Amino acid sequence: MTALFIQVSAKSVAQKVTISAKNASLLQLFDELRLQTGYDFLYSDEMLKMAKPVTIYAKQQQLETVLNQMFRNQHLVYTLKYKAVIIARKEETLLDMVNSYFARIDVRGKVSDEQGRPLPGATVKAKNLDRLVITDANGGFAFTGIDEKAVLVVSYLGYKTKEVPVKAVMNISIELANADLEEVGVISTGYQKVKKDQLTGAASTIGEKDYNQRTAVTGNFLENLEGKIPGLVYNSISGEISIRGVSTFDAVKRPLIVVDGFPTEIDLSTINPNDVVSVSVLRDAAAASIYGVQASNGVIVVETRRGKIGKPVFNFRSTFGFEAKPDFSNLNYIGSEEMIQIHKDYVKSGNDARYYYQDHSAIDPVKMVLFDLGDKLITQQQADAKLAAIGSYNNLKDYTNLFYQKRLTKQVNFDVSGGNDKSTYLLGLNYITEKPKERASQNDRIILNAANTYQLTNLFSLDFRASYTNNQKKNGKIAPYEDLLPYERLVDDYGNALPATYGEGKETSYAVSKAYNEAAKAKGLYDMLYYPYAELNANSNKTTLNSFRTQGRLNTKITNWLNLDLGGAYENEQGINDYLQTDKTYRVRYMVNIKAKKDPVKGTPMFTDLPQGDFLSKQTIKNLAYTLRGQFNANYYSKDRKHNISGILGVEQRKTQSESYKTTFFGYDGQSLINKPVNLQVLNTNTPPVFSELGTYDGTRFKSTNYFSELSNDRRFRSFYGQGTYVYDRRYVATGSLRIDQSNLFGIDPKYKNTPLWSAGLSWVLAEEEFIKPLTWISTLQLRAATGFNGNVPSSVNGPFLLLNSGLNTVFNTSQLYYDVASPENQSIRWETTQNYNLGLDFGLLEGKISGSVDAYYKKTRDVFGMMSADPTLGFNQYNANTAAIENKGLELMINSSNFSSRSFSWRTGITASFNKNKVLAVQTKDKTSSVNMVDGTDLQKGYPMNALFSYKYAGLNDKGQPGVYDRNGDVKIMNTYGDAIVDVDFEDLKYSGTTTPKYVVGLNNQFSVGAFDFSFLFMYYGGHVMRVQQPNPDDVNYGYALKGSANYWKQKGDELYTSIPGFPEYGTPGYYGFAAKYGYTYGDRFVRKADYIRLRDIILTYNLKSETLKKAGISNTQIRFQAQNPFKYTFSGNSIDSESIDKRTGIRSMPQQAFYSLTLSTNF
């Protein structure tokens, strides 16, 4: 930056001037001296091109003294004549020319950013000399025969220009031009680095400072992207991420993740957020189509840290976080007293009675009192006393304390980096330990990583990286609260587990009464009751996942504008899951009892087919992936610098292989590590138990496929690709790419195997036009337009091969093997292809204080995998085929602004906004069975969004308390979907309520710096979608879990004027099974709400320690950061409902997100 400050303090006749300037040109100084002295300056423009910038400070000094300072070390001289200063070239003496000849040297070097990443296309110019080169793909450059006293000027879009004295070997690091706005001038596609002003597609990058603005306390690198990239939607609860909507039903839905240039197939927990220096998101075909069939859902390119030249630098960061214990009162569960009242009414209506149950059946204690009262086994007074005692207790608080706790996390990150001209290195360690909110659970992760670069010779350089991740997770088994009755105690006064009334999963048909259980135990059988609290530690689920990734890249410089990359990546992930169910678990006790034989003499149980002991299921997971790539990189400039041609041409071979094996050891003893043999043929039968004390048998409970399985998947790809960019005069840009992917997933038809995927784009850099340059308030203005195709691959078992499932006949002959068709042969299966259109505008105003982009897009995906009906006589009734189509269209906006900036205070604002509209263009409509298949969202409908929500047109209650729905003619129907008298409606009678997927996503990020403090907050808005909200319904006490207010249902004629909750139909009347209430009422349009919400995603306060004592000790960049995540939310339908944690189709709620607080200390030394 040039700064010039001049004071006029003397009249021109005195020939004294005062002048202060930093890096000012001679022309600027001439103009000011002319004003002060009246002297004219005579020179030619060609002479001033040779002049060096001048830094000078003079106060009330003679003009000649000032001129001597200005022309010192210049190749120019001056002469004072009359009232003029005449400028001329300095004549070189013979000695000067000899010295100059012997003072010339050859120079080679490399230009990189602050993180050591090479910057291709940077301009390196010898100051005051007509010598200029452009760095190659690895940031390299070279000069021959240059003055040893010369100064090189290095410039790159978005970075500060830097001047460096020459030496034989140079490694030049340049900084971002605006550290506040962190304008990243280059986009990494993984295959190449592209200047932002040479992009024709839609892509965004966030740099290290913006990415690390928040702490990724969970260790998931994706969470730091929310609100930073337009078009990117991240669900912090599920961890799902999408870019520009979803373009498939069955194929891969997640964006492709690329790490340091190569795609990754292993668990994303292997990416250490502390190592991320930039994330580029490629959103359209022009940006992402170079990835071909992997790019339909967008591409996320992650670049990680590497070593820097210099002495070793140590980085340390430690984080501690906590979250309060869950509060289940937010779920609005029904209380004990209200549930008792519903049971009273239910029994009174005749819908429940003792004779409905078998002799062995477990019965709700409230119902048992009511049955005893009805059978006159107890008096009304005794019944009231018993019910009052039962209703005085509610187990929700005890349930929370027994099964849940505060969530605690600790994270430590440590690395060391350094290097020299020949090589750089980085060694890092990241450790996270988490005590989740669920008791008996523990998560631990450790990552070790290394990154090395080697400058082998002037022509060869090598980049090598490796990482190892060990993930360990352990958890017990927590009974869902919905499976329990609110008035049953979980432990006694001494903390011993007590039995629940029903079995695991709130099963009623197979749960036995306490009397039958005592009889079974007397016979020598296991206890058949279900103890929820005992299950917590009696089940142990441990998973260990080891992931290894290594990659390398050898670059060979062929010419100044052409080089060759040979490289590859290898990933190996192996996991073991040990699920131990001890003989104290309900599942083991149940199964061993059911399969027991009876001793013909003693009548006691014999555990021969399924032995006594624990069940240990071991599942081994292996994932292997490799990528091999050879790629030419070109970057050519014409001599006049008006033409630039760059591009890549390469071939790639990829393989992904996954295997999973599961086996189970029965009768397992953890001490001796011995297991016992089993009779699988007998175990697969559905025969009832031989002991009547055990009641009936759930035949689906034991299937060998639940305990033994083997899966294997092998996918191979060969790809040929190329990409080119032509730039004329820095104003006009044209790009194109072509990729052909071949795979073993598809049939033999060449038109499907060799489908090319391509893109083309144009860009007009308006800011470089002469008619724009006078508008000095415009710093950047670029118009982009692009189109192209990319694709997707199937995720399920589809392809040109017939795939079969095998099993044993459990009905007639337990030793008979049978097969069914898992996936039929399909030789015409092909890629899903997505055509993209994108129109974008990039802008920068007021010298970059305001910058951003606007993009409009349209995506149409054809040949989408969808289910097709088939002739059942072929051995299958449906198959997957390329029959469907989907479209997505939308708008995206990003704005960054520097609102105020001074030494003591600064304020920055970042806004991202996106709109997406999704529609199914083609899909095979399934045969109609029931309208509920349409309202519960299992059927896709042409002309509507993928996540469309349909509802009944709720007509309210009639005078019998039955819910009615309107048909298309406005007539009211009382629905009944059970038995002979089926009353249903058609699709045309339903109401389209909206989509359950947010159409609008807005992020507002503000950052403030005040002295040593930094403060920021991020608001997220998700809107334009709807949700169904579960309503109080007395029928849910038997089929699910009822909510508070369920007792306020219709009871008599006239109540329909005051309540919308259906009553209990009397036994034998239409709808008495409760289906009418569930469908017509629960799925009514009246109970669909706006799902829009605003959440304060995080508040961050950072204190930057700037102690001189620390500085003298070599400690720098020390920060203490406090972060609060999700401390506040506003839901447009009322804050009692959390839109993020509700099933938007059924309306069933889950635990809402709670605030999470963390404290981080980081430093360098």
- Residue 984 is predicted with a pLDDT of 76
pLDDT band at 548 (very low <50, low <70, confident <90, very high): very high
**In contact, 365 and 501? CB cutoff 8 Å:** yes
pLDDT band at 809 (very low <50, low <70, confident <90, very high): low
> Does the structure show a pLDDT above 50 at 497?
yes
Locus of tokens 């807005």: 1002
CA distance 613 to 589: 9
> Does the structure show a pLDDT above 50 at 2?
no
Give the least confident one: 671-675, 868-872, 888-892, 1149-1153: 868-872
Digit-coded pLDDT (tens) for 35-84? 778 787 777 666 776 677 888 888 888 888 888 888 887 878 887 766 77
Average pLDDT value for residue range 1073-1094? 80
CA distance 400 to 398: 5
- Residue 833 is predicted with a pLDDT of 86
> Does the structure show a pLDDT above 60 at 1072?
no
Q: Does residue 645 come out as left (phi exceeding 0), alpha (psi in the -120 to 50 range) or beta?
A: beta
> Does the structure show a pLDDT above 80 at 515?
yes
> Does the structure show a pLDDT above 80 at 117?
no
- Residue 976 is predicted with a pLDDT of 67
Average pLDDT value for residue range 534-544? 94
Digit-coded pLDDT (tens) for 923-973? 877 666 567 777 877 678 888 998 899 999 999 888 888 888 898 998 988
Q: Is the pLDDT higher at 693 or at 1029? A: 1029
> Does the structure show a pLDDT above 90 at 26?
no
**In contact, 138 and 78? CB cutoff 8 Å:** no
Provide the strand spans (E) within 407-513.
407-419, 423-435, 442-455, 460-475
Give the least confident one: 739-748, 890-899, 1112-1121, 1144-1153: 739-748
- Residue 615 is predicted with a pLDDT of 93
pLDDT band at 653 (very low <50, low <70, confident <90, very high): very high
Contacts of 244 (CB under 8 A, 6+ apart): 231, 283, 284, 298, 857, 859, 888, 890, 916
Overall residue count recorded for the chain in this entry: 1165
pLDDT band at 810 (very low <50, low <70, confident <90, very high): low
> Does the structure show a pLDDT above 70 at 183?
no
Q: Is the pLDDT higher at 468 or at 237? A: 468
Average pLDDT value for residue range 884-889? 91
Q: Is the pLDDT higher at 806 or at 755? A: 755
pLDDT band at 544 (very low <50, low <70, confident <90, very high): very high
- Residue 465 is predicted with a pLDDT of 95
Supply the mean pLDDT for the chain: 84
Q: How far is CA 984 from each of CA 757, 976, 1072, rounded to the nearest angstrom?
A: 47, 7, 16
Helix or strand run (H / E) with residue 522: helix 514-522
Dihedral of CA atoms 771, 776, 779, 782 in degrees, nearest 10, equals -20
Render 202-229 in DSSP notation, one character per residue.
Answer: -EEEEEHHHHTTS--TTS-GGGGGTTTS
pLDDT band at 599 (very low <50, low <70, confident <90, very high): confident
Q: How far is CA 177 from each of CA 1, 159, 184, 280, 1140, rounded to the nearest angstrom?
A: 10, 4, 9, 19, 39
What structural domains and CATH numbers belong to the chain?
3-91 (3.55.50.30), 95-173 (2.60.40.1120)
Average pLDDT value for residue range 312-327? 92
Q: What is the pTM of this model?
A: 0.81
CA distance 168 to 165: 10
Give the least confident one: 243-247, 353-357, 620-624, 1126-1130: 353-357
Specify which residues 843 forms β-bridges with.
Answer: 781, 852
- Ranked by mean pLDDT, the top range of 79-83, 250-254, 306-310 is 306-310
What is the separation, in whole angstroms, between the first and last Cα of the chain?
A: 31
pLDDT band at 95 (very low <50, low <70, confident <90, very high): low
* DSSP 8-class letter at 937: T
Average pLDDT value for residue range 270-297? 85
Digit-coded pLDDT (tens) for 415-471? 999 888 788 999 999 999 999 999 999 999 999 999 999 989 888 999 999 999 999
Q: Residue 255 phi/psi, 5° resolution?
A: -60, 155
- Residue 801 is predicted with a pLDDT of 66
> Does the structure show a pLDDT above 60 at 857?
yes
Digit-coded pLDDT (tens) for 913-929? 999 999 999 887 766 65
User: pLDDT exceeding 90 applies to what percent of the chain?
Assistant: 36
- Residue 769 is predicted with a pLDDT of 87
> Does the structure show a pLDDT above 90 at 538?
yes
> Does the structure show a pLDDT above 90 at 685?
no
pLDDT band at 10 (very low <50, low <70, confident <90, very high): very low
> Does the structure show a pLDDT above 80 at 182?
no
Strand 162-165 versus strand 151-155 pairing type: antiparallel
- Residue 265 is predicted with a pLDDT of 86
Average pLDDT value for residue range 138-166? 81
Side chain identity at 892, as an amino acid letter?
E
- Residue 679 is predicted with a pLDDT of 78
